[in-house]
Structure 1
Amino acid sequence: MTRTAGGSGTSSRPDRRPDGGVPVDARGVDRTLWTRVGGIQGAPLDLLTARIGRRHYAPHTHDEYAIGVTVDGTETMLYRGERIYSAAGSVVVVEPGEAHTGGPARPEGFAYLCLYPAAELLGAATTAEPGPVAAAPHFANPIIDDRGLGEALRLAHHALRLGADPLEGESRLLGVLGGLVRRHAASGPKAVPAPHRAEAGRIARTVATRLSDELIAPPTLAEVATDLGLSRYQLLRAFREAMGMPPYAWLAQHRVARARALLDAGHRPAEAATLVGFADQAHLTRWFRRVLGVTPGVYRNSVQDSTSRRPSF
């Protein structure tokens, strides 16, 4: 078994784990555990095991799919401009680049398991013959009421996290991804956005690219708006419509993603904070916890430990 990262609280109640890692009796306590499996399709696969009592995740995106199952309680999140709910047994699918939040819908909190496969892995899971990988699938409905799939996801997550039998883990993972796409992916491509939404997307992508390129000393809203021939209000409205969050929040979560990559490469949190433009390590830590649920140091120790001990598939 490998060590995993955790943000923990205290509880005098028993800590039973019938669901493969989530302490269901520790209600009201935030516990976030990251584990990394190395070598699946040549890229690492991150796993998340979490009990959320009070925390609400800040708006953020992922470069990969986020595919999870709620195992206790009810989660609520903002996704594609709507508030949605996931009860125990439901599967949740968040597509790459889609802004979302997350938090407990009720005071007792919720628990969930999640894995983060790259689009290429999801495509490979549904490609029947050798050759080009299928295009990344689209899911019109983020909440999927498929109890069989949810149980299969729970078992796959458990097998991957323990790492005792790599063949079992890989087989269960590919079975879950294949079943998800075959039964629930949209049959056609994503709908073409309306002209005003397409323009908002173009503006937002331009702004995001500039913020990413000037990560250490980002431009002001006035500077970016002037360069685009827009007012600051027009820029903010377009960016929020396309990205689901204002530019400052997008920049913060993007810095977290960049810092995460540096931590994966072995940098210390203080170094990562400086390299991505945070004022100091404390500033990085605040945003890192808001987006990922753990401190940078705990995350770094966990993924390095799990990667070094895991066999590749």
Structure 2
Amino acid sequence: MSALMAGGERGDDEMTGRSRAGREWATYWRSAEMPLEAMYASFLRHRYHRHSHETYSFGVTEHGAQTFTCRGAGHTSAAGMVMAFNPDEVHDGHAAHEQGFTYRIVHIGEKLITDVIPDVTQRPAGLPLFAAPVLDSPALAARLRRLHTALSHGAGPLERDELLCAAVAALSRLAARTPARPRAIPRTPAVAHLAAKARELIHDRYADPISADDLAVWTGSSRYKVYRAFHTTYGLAPSEYQRQLRLRAARHLLALGHPAARVAGEAGFTDQAHLTRWFTRSYGVTPTQYRLAKAD
């Protein structure tokens, strides 16, 4: 495992996969073979910008507390609590008080979830697997902590897979006891269609400059209507959604070993500093730190 954090200090901390900047640090692990990643971090001043992940993400707060907004409401995860985010679920986050917070988080790809819980794909369209973003379950927290520790300390493939299956199964049982609630539904099919049409152009041209006028012409609607429909449907402004696509493209390229300077241009960022700023604000580590986090 290789993992670092802003601050750039070297020496013993780097040898242990942890660098420190004041009281803030982070370690990162990612699998080279499957959509599975893990981070262990302690933040005091860092504030996550609104972002989402392609994966299911499960965090365990170990010390302090962090507060975040998700699904249009505020939530707090204190020590011992579990955070559960569905794919594409927009959230932010920061310390709830001056002592900061320490937490572990595991990102698990949808395919790994459905391999363990086949009936996930049978759930009604639009329903998330997890109804609540904060879960108070000591047993689940313990399973996630064991999984995270095994991943970050180089457990063998068999042990890793067994712990992954056990954690996902426990998550599934907990989710089953809490009926999933539908996400906010646009008021009319026309709103959903307009947002989907705009989303189509953003996906096709995520690395290129796109203006509000471009979206209006493409959808045959006004700039205001496009913005309102898009934000209502996806929870992000079109520009924020485009940046999420760029960040995800950057993650994939970095995981392939491409240097951050090259990735910035290919993913649509102005330069490496622009990529670094948004990558760190969204994920808590820099692009280079993420690229160097290897496993297996």
TM-score (norm 1): 0.82
- In 1: Cα distance, 2:6 partner to 2:189 partner: 40
Q: CA deviation at 1:153?
A: 0.9
How has the CA–CA distance of structure 1 residues 193 and 291 changed in structure 2, closer, same or farther, with 3 Å as cutoff? closer
Specify the alignment match of 1:18 in structure 2.
none
Aligned amino acid, residue 30 of structure 2: R
Q: Deviations over 1:140-198 (max 9, x none)?
A: 11111101110121111101110144333222221111011012246766537545165
For the Cα contact (< 8 Å) 1:22–1:51, is it kept in 2?
no
How has the CA–CA distance of structure 1 residues 148 and 263 changed in structure 2, closer, same or farther, with 3 Å as cutoff? same
- In 2: Cα distance, 1:266 partner to 1:193 partner: 38
- In 1: Cα distance, 2:241 partner to 2:55 partner: 17
The equivalent position to 2:25 in structure 1, one of 24, 31, 41, is 31
Specify the alignment match of 2:3 in structure 1.
4
Within-5 A mapping of 1:44-55: 44-55=35-46
- In 1: Cα distance, 2:186 partner to 2:274 partner: 38
Q: CA deviation at 1:110?
A: 0.9
- In 2: Cα distance, 1:244 partner to 1:28 partner: 34
**1:196 lines up with 2:187 in the alignment:** yes
The equivalent position to 1:74 in structure 2, one of 60, 65, 79, is 65
Specify the alignment match of 1:271 in structure 2.
262
Q: Deviations over 1:203-245 (max 9, x none)?
A: 3333233122112323210221233233222222222222222
For the Cα contact (< 8 Å) 1:156–1:169, is it kept in 2?
yes
Q: Deviations over 1:49-102 (max 9, x none)?
A: 111111111111111101111111111111111111111111111000111111
For the Cα contact (< 8 Å) 1:75–1:102, is it kept in 2?
yes
For the Cα contact (< 8 Å) 2:185–2:233, is it kept in 1?
no
Specify the alignment match of 2:117 in structure 1.
126
Specify the alignment match of 2:140 in structure 1.
149
The equivalent position to 1:86 in structure 2, one of 66, 77, 89, is 77
Secondary structure, aligned partner of 1:289: helix
Aligned amino acid, residue 5 of structure 1: L
Specify the alignment match of 2:92 in structure 1.
101
Aligned amino acid, residue 156 of structure 1: L
**1:205 lines up with 2:205 in the alignment:** no
For the Cα contact (< 8 Å) 2:84–2:134, is it kept in 1?
yes
Q: Deviations over 1:279-313 (max 9, x none)?
A: 111111111111111221121112xxx23xx1xxx
More off after superposition, 222-231 vs 273-282: 222-231
Aligned amino acid, residue 6 of structure 2: G
Give the gaps of 5 or more residues in structure 2: none
- In 2: Cα distance, 1:100 partner to 1:274 partner: 26
For the Cα contact (< 8 Å) 2:58–2:82, is it kept in 1?
yes
**1:175 lines up with 2:169 in the alignment:** no
Q: CA deviation at 1:134?
A: 5.2
Q: CA deviation at 1:253?
A: 2.3
Q: CA deviation at 1:32?
A: 2.4
Secondary structure, aligned partner of 1:7: coil
Q: Deviations over 1:103-125 (max 9, x none)?
A: 11112111111111112211222
Secondary structure, aligned partner of 1:6: coil
Within-5 A mapping of 1:52-63: 52-63=43-54
Secondary structure, aligned partner of 1:196: coil
How has the CA–CA distance of structure 1 residues 144 and 272 changed in structure 2, closer, same or farther, with 3 Å as cutoff? same
Give the gaps of 5 or more residues in structure 1: 16-20
More off after superposition, 118-127 vs 66-75: 118-127
The equivalent position to 1:246 in structure 2, one of 220, 233, 237, is 237
Q: Report percent identity of matched pairs.
A: 34
Number of residues of Structure 1 aligned to a counterpart in Structure 2 = 286
More off after superposition, 99-108 vs 233-242: 233-242
Q: CA deviation at 1:200?
A: 4.0
Q: CA deviation at 1:126?
A: 3.1
For the Cα contact (< 8 Å) 1:160–1:170, is it kept in 2?
no
**1:258 lines up with 2:257 in the alignment:** no
Aligned amino acid, residue 277 of structure 2: R
